[in-house]
Structure 1
Amino acid sequence: MIGAKEAQFYQENGYLLVKGVFNKEEIENMRAGVENIVQRAAAAKMVDNHAWQGDYLPPDELKKLVLKGFHDVHYHDASFTRAMVHPNMVAVLTQLIGPNVQIHHSKMLVKPPENGAAFPMHQDYPYFPHDKNTMLAASVHLDDTNEENGCLHVIPGTHKQGPLPHVGKHYLDHKEYPIASGVACEAEAGDVLFFNYLTIHGSGPNRSERTRRNVLYEYKAADDMPTEKVHINWGSGLMVAGENPNFQQAQPKFTLSGD
């Protein structure tokens, strides 16, 4: 899917947009998966609004914003499991991370028309810090995205700055890092934006009449260990490519309770 030139671009800039990773049929299957998850979550009364709060917008505007998000979607629909280990994804991941690649987690984000919430600029690092910082996000676009419907913005090269102080662990100072300061990564359905978890990124609100749906996978090198016990689940550590060099750490350690 990519060559040495694209891999070098990622290493220098901390992000890479790869076109046409998934075909139309695969995208349709994932769109159906998103809809099914939303409906099942509503039936289970487990629908939460993930719109971020803060001072980056006036309070009356914040109340209007909606963002539907669900973690670990590969537990809910097989289309996301297939996408997670898709040969095209693996071909890119092994170029950007190395031969031994693990999944950390997955999630989906749905920005509805006209009031889909923004994501202020931030790094993903505070949520799940790791030793070698190989962690990257692969944002799968299920819809065409541009600035009108809240495409992702990234600030090239910021992965080289290391971890930065965040407001309440969630986002950076919006006055110092406005969304407009990033490069707009407009994409088509089927494209995937890869970016390091230290790369500053965010997205504007969806002001269009179109839904913006993304599925996000976080991957890392198999020998990149967490520095804090955060955001670990049963599926974390599943091998996507290569082998696990840490035989005794092949699975997360859990304690079962009787609840």
Structure 2
Amino acid sequence: MPIKGLKVLPNPVFSELPQNYRLSEEQKSFYWENGYLVIKELIDFTSLYSYKQRFLQICKGIVDSPVMIVKEQALFEKNLKPEEYINKLQEILYDDVFMTYGEHPRLLDVISQFIGDDITAIHSMFINKPPGTARHPPHQDLFYFPIRPVDKIIGSWTAVDHVNKDNGCLYVIPKSHKQDILYPHGDVPEAGKLYHGILNEETLAREHARVSLDMAPGDTVLLHPRLLHGSGPNRTQRHRKAITVHFASSACEYVDVRGSVQERLAADVQAAATRRGLRVSYQDIWKYKSKQVKGVRSNL
């Protein structure tokens, strides 16, 4: 008989998953050829449930967390409850619960097969994407990172809820990473503030070239940082939760982005930091928010 007031977790359907996951040569080849790879049921149900509960605890103000809350401004102005207007939580690497995703042994085993055993987590988000959330235009994750070499950076994105085209699933442009180009990005129509997109979308990311990634909870897609990808608006009446971390080999190095297509973004980020009383370089900002999650930290 359940004890009154005690939370009981649902039966974890994936709880018996092994702590490692060895990729086949076909899977590795697919990633390098196409710039992405979907792995079914990589993350267990119990972990996914804990992430959803942590998000709700933060929404309700039950716990203190060092995460940064990002609101969907149009929804916030409607005086909705937090779960209905919070678009995502950023910088989740130092939250006691969310950090278990970036340190998940099964995920890190996969990541190490692409970038080696010394791994630094460099960027992290829990994405809520409530109903009415705008699209995320086609972009390259590398646009944000002052880190090289490119092939030693990889993103992981795990569905916490079922995701499909109706609620704004990811789409990718296969093989677009092979152009070896970081395209200019900026503000584009029908996208939220700070959701940068490539400026020549109609040429580089035509609708017919987009592959939508329908995913079930626990499914995880790995993304090359140069791959063009984005997501549509959420047109349903339910949320589309996901969790994501970008990883880099700890042997990577910070680079000067002056004179590159990243220069304006770096200047804007530094200016925002200065307004908060912080005088730091763009590279230092990334260094401060990263976290060693496996092996030995060297350059990052």
Cα shift at 1:179: 5.7
Cα shift at 1:235: 4.3
Partner of 2:141: 124
Cα shift at 1:155: 0.7
**Do structure 1's residue 71 and structure 2's residue 93 form an aligned pair?**
no
Secondary structure of the structure 1 residue equivalent to 2:147: coil
Partner of 1:61: none
Partner of 1:242: 295
Partner of 1:33: 54
Structure 2 stretches lacking a partner, 5+ long:
1-20, 75-83, 188-193, 257-281
**Residue 118 to residue 101, structure 1, CA distance change in 2 (3 Å):** same
**Residue 132 to residue 41, structure 1, CA distance change in 2 (3 Å):** farther
Secondary structure of the structure 2 residue equivalent to 1:40: coil
Structure 1 stretches lacking a partner, 5+ long:
53-64, 251-259
**Residue 35 to residue 178, structure 1, CA distance change in 2 (3 Å):** farther
Cα shift at 1:132: 0.5
Partner of 1:57: none
Secondary structure of the structure 2 residue equivalent to 1:75: coil
Partner of 1:24: 45
**Within 5 Å, which residues of 2 pair with 1:144-183?**
144-161=162-179, 162-168=181-187, 170-173=196-199, 174-176=201-203, 177-178=205-206, 181-183=209-211
Partner of 1:137: 155
**Structural RMSD (CA):** 2.7
Secondary structure of the structure 2 residue equivalent to 1:69: strand
Number of equivalences: 231
Residue by residue over 1:78-119, the C-alpha shift from the partner in whole angstroms, topping out at 9 and shown as x without a partner, is 221111111110111011222322111211211112x12210
Provide the rounded CA distance (Å) in 1 between the counterparts of 2:197 and 2:71.
Answer: 17
Secondary structure of the structure 2 residue equivalent to 1:209: coil
Cα shift at 1:128: 1.2
Provide the rounded CA distance (Å) in 2 between the counterparts of 1:117 and 1:67.
Answer: 12
Partners of 2:156 and 2:220 within 8 A in 1: yes
**Residue 221 to residue 50, structure 1, CA distance change in 2 (3 Å):** farther
Provide the rounded CA distance (Å) in 1 between the counterparts of 2:52 and 2:198.
Answer: 31
Partner of 2:71: 49
Provide the rounded CA distance (Å) in 2 between the counterparts of 1:43 and 1:236.
Answer: 20
Provide the rounded CA distance (Å) in 2 between the counterparts of 1:179 and 1:128.
Answer: 27
Provide the rounded CA distance (Å) in 2 between the counterparts of 1:84 and 1:38.
Answer: 21
Provide the rounded CA distance (Å) in 1 between the counterparts of 2:86 and 2:103.
Answer: 26
Partners of 1:179 and 1:203 within 8 A in 2: no
Secondary structure of the structure 1 residue equivalent to 2:98: helix
Cα shift at 1:181: 3.3
Residue by residue over 1:209-241, the C-alpha shift from the partner in whole angstroms, topping out at 9 and shown as x without a partner, is 221011110101111112143441534141x33
* Counterpart code for 1:126: F
Partner of 1:215: 243
Provide the rounded CA distance (Å) in 2 between the counterparts of 1:69 and 1:42.
Answer: 17
Partner of 2:16: none
* Counterpart code for 1:144: H
* Counterpart code for 1:70: L
Partner of 2:265: none
Residue by residue over 1:24-55, the C-alpha shift from the partner in whole angstroms, topping out at 9 and shown as x without a partner, is 111111111122223339999x8543579xxx
Secondary structure of the structure 2 residue equivalent to 1:234: helix
**Do structure 1's residue 232 and structure 2's residue 286 form an aligned pair?**
yes
**Residue 151 to residue 41, structure 1, CA distance change in 2 (3 Å):** farther
Cα shift at 1:72: 1.2
Over alpha carbons, which structure has the higher Rg? 2
Which runs of 4 or more aligned residues in structure 1 lie more than 6 Å from their structure 2 counterparts after TM superposition?
Answer: 41-44
Partners of 2:69 and 2:86 within 8 A in 1: no
Q: Tell me which of the two structures has the higher relative contact order, counting C-alpha pairs closer than 8 angstroms and 6 or more residues apart.
A: 1
**Residue 40 to residue 73, structure 1, CA distance change in 2 (3 Å):** farther
117, 129, 136: which is aligned to 1:99?
117
